Amino acid sequence: MSSWNSVGMEVLYQVLGWVAFFAWSFSFYPQVFLNFKRKSVVGLNFDFLVLNLTKHSSYLVYNAALFFSPFIQRQYHETYGDKEMIPVAANDVAFSVHAVALTAFTLFQVFIYERGNQKISKVCISITAIVWTAAIVCLIVAWPKSNWLWLIDVFNSIQVGMTAIKYIPQAVMNFRRKSTIGWSIGNILLDLTGGVLNFGQMGVQSIDQHTLVNFYGNIGKTLLSLEVVFFDILFIIQHYVLYPVKRDENGKAIISERVAPLIRPSDKPEEDTAVSAANGYPILPTEAKHVAAA
């Protein structure tokens, strides 16, 4: 069985993993607190939340199955070699459980807070339905021959695909609104920290084992880190460079903006609404005015 060659590298691996876990886990809270403070989810894209829940649920299946199942671990060693370490750590499982719970809670906030004209798109609903239908079909295919490693690899592929597309609706929404108000930058900064540390953790294991198997043996974790870093940098550019919050002469933020919802009812004419971030509620364009944050 595989083991660490260096105690120091093992300790560093654990430290990076758990710091990444806390960074990624805490990244959910700024958005939750922002929604609670504003009593509004205007500016937070609902497609992102639905796709994110699918992503984290799939990742939880992969992490928990590979970490806890001796049978699947045996299949992994038969595929990649007996000397290779299992590429899932306890912090990966803990993160997945926490991520599913917090994403579900954020979706709950969508139902209880002001959301303006925003809604979940038909494209998002279709993608989610197709993904889970495919997952069920794969389960049926894997069951007779107990191809569980192949099955969890399917779920790992799902989470990679969801990560690649889940950020797109929010990025496009920020572009159309020319604003990131309602979308927490704290979430992004912590998410970026977790992504970098997660990749570093895999690098430590690779250096200790003198192999790159842990990168392609858990290609989902590798691609996840790279995708997170790419999109988080994009959001940071949107927030600080392209659409910075304007301030008045007293240094207070001016929180009035125009909002064009991504999804509009087909039977209603297109119209922009303005959102006061002081209370998070939409107001008509004729009523829009600059509002300084308290």
- Do 17 and 92 meet the contact criterion of CB atoms below 8 Å apart? yes
Largest Cα–Cα distance of the chain, in whole Å? Answer: 70
Angle at 164 between CA 180 and CA 139, to 5 degrees: 135
Nearest-angstrom CA–CA distance, 136 and 116: 35
Whether pTM exceeds 0.75: no
Nearest-angstrom CA–CA distance, 9 and 287: 60
Instruction: Kindly list the domain boundaries of the chain, sorted by start residue.
Output: 7-241
The tokens describing 243, both together, are: 């659409």
pLDDT tens for residues 177-215? 898 888 889 889 998 998 899 888 888 888 888 887 777
- The position carrying tokens 């954020």 is 106
Q: Which residue has the higher pLDDT, 101 or 88?
A: 101
pLDDT tens for residues 241-267? 999 877 655 656 555 544 444 444 444
- The position carrying tokens 């607190």 is 33
- Provide the percentage of residues in the chain whose pLDDT is more than 90: 49
